[in-house]
Structure 1
Amino acid sequence: MDKKDFSNLEDQIMSTVSNALKAIDLANFKKDVNDKTEDTLNQFKSKLNEYSEKYMGLNKKSKNNISTYISKRPAGSISGILYILFGASGSLVFGSSVLIFLIVNTFFSGIILGSNIIFGVLFLFLAVSVGLLLRGINLRKRVKRFKKYVRFIDDNSYFLIKDLAKFAKEKESFVVKDLSKMIDLGMFLEGHIDEEKTYFMLSDEVYGDYLNLKKQQMVKESNNEKLNEEIENLEKEEIESTIKIGRNYIEQIKSIRNDLYKEEIAIKLDKLGNISNQILIQVEKNPKKIQEVNKFINHYLPITIKLISSYKDINNQLVQGENIESAKSEIEKSIDLINSAFENLLDDLFEDVVLDISTDISVLKTLFKQEGLAEDDFKK
């Protein structure tokens, strides 16, 4: 992980928390969460800088001590040469012997007693010699790759394995296995590969710092998840509270309507109650629509309740003068207007549903046409 990686991690976490805060529209809670989040991010940023500086310091320190973590005599540097020498010598000697034996046995078949046993022994020694030779070549190749890896490491105490793979012109999976084998053989005295097989770390100290940073990151992610969960719970509580308020207003409409059941306005109030109920049902099905009906519940319904309550009060007057009749007429017209507005709002809530239906129909038509099942295809 270089300093750029730490910066990207910080930006990612800040972006995640910022997007979570934009998901709600509760000013007071948002302010509290912002304060809390800002403090958390500042602390995390400080830690990231601390670890980044520490890692940079380790890199500078490693310029003088990098040889401490690398074997001066890597596995295979001597044994590989010995295997090649013995394998090559044996292959030459026993290969020649097998060839000579085959020539002699061809011309003097049956003269040499136990020829099959002799040939078997010679061939066995030849096979062992070839095996030693191949073993030595593989060991020397690994030592060569080890030296190439060391050149790539240069003064770094950690690096991306994919970068090393590009440098060595090998597959990442091969390099991971190769490094793991070299660590097991003690070629890298304190080498470590992370669980994701992404980074190689040269020393125990760097690996320890990596584990600590990863632990810190997991804690921050856990806190971020808890914060998102708190926000979701608050959103849920807001929706439930808003719907509960709306249901209460609808009950008030029904109550007033029951008192006015003899009046013409009762029919209008039945319609008002039904439309309002349908709006709340749609919000329950799709909570994301809560913002669209907030004004309906918190502004329009209270005004409507006030209007029909006034209608009820003046309707209970024993003397129905011209002013009272005029007021009742105006309220009835207002209820018609409100019903029309609420119908439009309910229709808007079905916009997504209609869009989904249109999309599904369009997909079906396309599939039918591809399969030759469309009406036009039958006409042909």
Structure 2
Amino acid sequence: MDKKDFSKLEDQIMSTVSNALKAVDFVNLKRDINDKTEDTLNQFKSKLNGYGEKHMSLNKKPKKDVSTYISKRPAGSISGILYILFGAIGSLVYGFSALIILVFKKLLSSIVIIDSHIIMWILLVLFIVSLSLLIRGINLRKRVKRFKNYVKIIGNNSFFLIKDLAKFYKEKESFVVKDLSKMIDLGMFLEGHIDEEKTYFMLNDEVYDDYLSLKKEQMEIESNNKKLNEETYSSEKEGIEATIKIGRSYIEQIKNIKNDLYKEEIAIKLDKLANIATQILSQIEKNPKKIQEVNKFINHYLPITIKLINSYKDINNQLVQGENIENAKSEIEKSIDLINSAFENLLDDLFEDVVLDISTDISVLKTLFKQEGLAEDDFKK
């Protein structure tokens, strides 16, 4: 019998004991946890698709004039010019004055040397201050220029991807985020917002409120999905634990009956059966993914087996052991042999993945040894 083909096991058992027992009733318990959650998952998937469509339609909403949300006099437009003007004048005046003093100091090094040092330091300080004002003004004007470029790039859109802005302006995303944040703080974008993930720049409060609503909805969906997955996992885990518990209960019954029949030849067969069943459950505990493969073993074949050996016990307790009873006992013993063989095949099948992993590890080791020149063939050479 093929190790994976257990579908005919029941018919073979029933056929061999038909002369000993009138009938053996059984119940095939089947479980399918995933069917319970499939409809709910489809609903969440539909909502996620709806969220995506709604999110993409933000820019399609009726918009006000973009200029409504942009400062007409951005910070630095006037102050930047003044900083540059005063900084440039101061740098020229104080720098030129310091240069003249240096020249006179060289020519008249012995005259009023103390006063020339003091004046020189004052002029240098004023020159540095003026130079700082000049640099400050240039930076302010550059920011105003970038602001105007951002406005042109954004156009009539109510929100924009920061990575696209960085791409258009040929700057790093981190620089654009920092730049836009500063402009928002300075009131250059009157209602500007940047999302927490630093992905979107939103021009006004209305779009930002829509974004927050969608974000909240998305988080709720993700939370529900997580909760559903946890419940499903918990349900699966409870189902596996319950199945294993049932299996152990059947094994305990087999052992008890074996103890009652310790003088009979069938006791050896039952001891083997209990050991095989215990190993199957142990393997399922290590690899719960295989639970579907042993559901029928636990919920169908073990109950049939219990019924058979209970029948054996009942007829064995009869004071008069006639020909019919002996035949029935013989047929049940043959059935136990058949069951043991089938369960051994099932146990062997559960180790298929383990054997595959071992073969893969051995293959990797051989390849590594060959690459390092440590293979047997290399030593022969």
CA 66–97 in structure 1, closer or farther in 2 if over 3 Å, else same:
same
Contact 2:87 2:132 in 1 (8 A): yes
Question: Deviation at 1:48?
Answer: 6.0
Match of 1:33 in 2: 37
Match of 1:107 in 2: 107
Residues 353-380 of structure 1: CA distance to partner in whole angstroms, max 9, x if unpaired?
3444455566667778888988889999
- In 1: Cα distance, 2:92 partner to 2:377 partner: 81
Task: Let me know the Cα RMSD of the aligned residues.
Answer: 2.9
- In 2: Cα distance, 1:46 partner to 1:145 partner: 36
Match of 1:131 in 2: 132
Which has a greater percent of helix?
Answer: 1
Look up the equivalent residue of 1:97 and give its one-letter code.
S
Contact 1:86 1:133 in 2 (8 A): yes
- In 1: Cα distance, 2:200 partner to 2:54 partner: 20
- In 1: Cα distance, 2:163 partner to 2:52 partner: 24
Look up the equivalent residue of 2:335 and give its one-letter code.
S
Match of 1:70 in 2: 70
* Matched-pair identity in %: 74
Look up the equivalent residue of 2:37 and give its one-letter code.
V
Question: Deviation at 1:292?
Answer: 1.4
Q: SS where residue 234 of structure 2 aligns? A: helix
Match of 1:84 in 2: 84
Question: Deviation at 1:102?
Answer: 2.0
Question: Deviation at 1:40?
Answer: 5.2
**Mapping for residues 140-289 of structure 1, pairs under 5 Å:** 140-289=141-290
- In 2: Cα distance, 1:260 partner to 1:141 partner: 97
TM-score normalised by the chain length of structure 1 = 0.82
Aligned match of 1:61 in 63, 77, 80?
Answer: 63
Q: SS where residue 212 of structure 1 aligns? A: helix
Question: Deviation at 1:137?
Answer: 0.9
Contact 2:59 2:157 in 1 (8 A): no
Q: SS where residue 90 of structure 2 aligns? A: helix
Q: SS where residue 159 of structure 1 aligns? A: strand
Q: SS where residue 138 of structure 1 aligns? A: helix
TM-score normalised by the chain length of structure 2 = 0.82
CA 202–349 in structure 1, closer or farther in 2 if over 3 Å, else same:
same
**Greater Cα offset, 176-185 or 100-109:** 100-109
Q: Which runs of 5+ in 1 are unaligned?
A: 1-24
Contact 1:105 1:112 in 2 (8 A): no
Match of 1:122 in 2: 123
Residues 45-102 of structure 1: CA distance to partner in whole angstroms, max 9, x if unpaired?
666655655x2444x414xx21111111111111111111222222222222222222
CA 43–118 in structure 1, closer or farther in 2 if over 3 Å, else same:
closer
* Greater RCO (Cα-Cα under 8 Å, separation 6 or more): 2
Q: SS where residue 189 of structure 2 aligns? A: coil
- In 1: Cα distance, 2:241 partner to 2:171 partner: 59
- In 1: Cα distance, 2:309 partner to 2:229 partner: 42
- In 1: Cα distance, 2:220 partner to 2:313 partner: 60
Q: SS where residue 63 of structure 2 aligns? A: helix
Q: Which runs of 5+ in 2 are unaligned?
A: 1-29
CA 364–47 in structure 1, closer or farther in 2 if over 3 Å, else same:
closer
Look up the equivalent residue of 1:153 and give its one-letter code.
I
Match of 1:94 in 2: 94
Question: Deviation at 1:147?
Answer: 0.8
Look up the equivalent residue of 1:33 and give its one-letter code.
T
- In 2: Cα distance, 1:163 partner to 1:301 partner: 65
Look up the equivalent residue of 2:331 and give its one-letter code.
E
Count the aligned residue pairs: 351
